[in-house]
Amino acid sequence: MLMKRVFSGIQPTGKIHLGNYLGAVKNWVDSQGEFENIFCIVNSHAITTTQNPQELREKTYELARVLIACGIDPKKSCLFIQSEIDEHAALAWILDCNISMGEMSRMTQFKDKSQKNPKNINVGLFNYPALMAADILLYNADLVPVGEDQKQHLELTRNVAQKFNRDFGECFKVPEALIPKVGARVMGLDDPTSKMSKSANGANHAIFLMDTPDEILKKFKKATTDSEACIRFDENRAGVYNLLCIYETLSKKTRESIEGEFVGRGYGDLKKAVAEIVIETLRPMQEKYQLLKNEQGYIEKILEEGRERAREIAQKTYNQAKTFIGLV
């Protein structure tokens, strides 16, 4: 039986943090025996905000090293750089011409990012969902891992695929969302009402994958909790709930057993326990990352092989879309 194909992408901006790992990368690694995985470093998406060209190149390769250090196996998964396959931008143009202004104007992420960066509201930011749709549809993905903030973009992808298939012929597979039950949304340690983010300014907001044990412990000690004494899973108590969800994801214990573990104990014990399990989880990744820093040729070879595997699929899909729409 053929495995279902999964496509996912991650931007090479900022430093990858615990939320990225638990919400996406860990699930990518864990699913490598279950799905045919195609993972893309979406550097073209990154330039919707102003980037230093040299830093963007460096961060692109740095992210590749991080993903491999986290457990992405190039023998099991296809890993490549988005900008090295021209069909992404080419298909995005075709999709742009088949998405209404009304549909695109309803994308809440554009509104949010425009408010945060009012001096950089560009056409690329507005059309971002079309490029995301092209990323997915090029590879005939069955499933796309998405967080809550990306569900709207995936729905647009589904809509444009269905519309294109109806109007021009069966070209695209219509993908389904793959949403992990646990760890899909890790919140900031300093503000547990907002999602952990690369761009947040707070020094204690995020745990970065390359943070030292001392930095991790310090950040968790300062994590926001509340004035209640009982440690239990309660979504209305955002800070404690966030810490417990992190612990649940990494320990693989049941909620009942976790609550039992902390009966009669305080928030200091909870924070220490979460910090320790995060430190031990990140330790082997950090060690492997340090080794890979001296293996640039190895990283380039993996990305080159991934590019060729991905390009074969992308060219076939794009040429079919061109033919259907009358461009050849």
- Helical (H) or strand (E) element with 54: helix 53-70
* CB proximity list for 239: less than 8 A, separation 6 or greater: 192, 223, 224, 225, 226
- Helical (H) or strand (E) element with 19: helix 18-20
Percent helix / strand / coil, the chain, rounded to 5: 55, 10, 35
CA distance 129 to 125: 8
Q: What is the CB neighbour count within 10 angstroms for residue 263?
A: 9
- DSSP letters spanning 265-300: --HHHHHHHHHHHHHHHHHHHHHHHHHHTT-HHHHH
For residue 198, indicate whether it is catalytic.
yes
Catalytic, out of 76, 163, 173, 198: 198
> The tokens of 23 are what?
């919400």
Which phi and psi (to 5°) does residue 195 adopt?
-65, 140
Residue 143 DSSP one-character state: E
CA distance 325 to 328: 8
Cβ distance 287 to 130 under 8 Å?
A: no
Q: What is the CB neighbour count within 10 angstroms for residue 300?
A: 12
Catalytic, out of 4, 76, 173, 195: 195
- Helical (H) or strand (E) element with 38: strand 36-41
For residue 113, indicate whether it is catalytic.
yes
Catalytic, out of 26, 113, 219, 271: 113
- Helical (H) or strand (E) element with 9: strand 5-10
Q: Of the candidates 176, 12, 18, 30, which has an alpha carbon nearest to the alpha carbon of residue 80?
A: 12
Beta bridge partners of 41: 10, 81
Side chain identity at 84, as an amino acid letter? E
| Active centre residues (catalytic) | 113, 195, 198
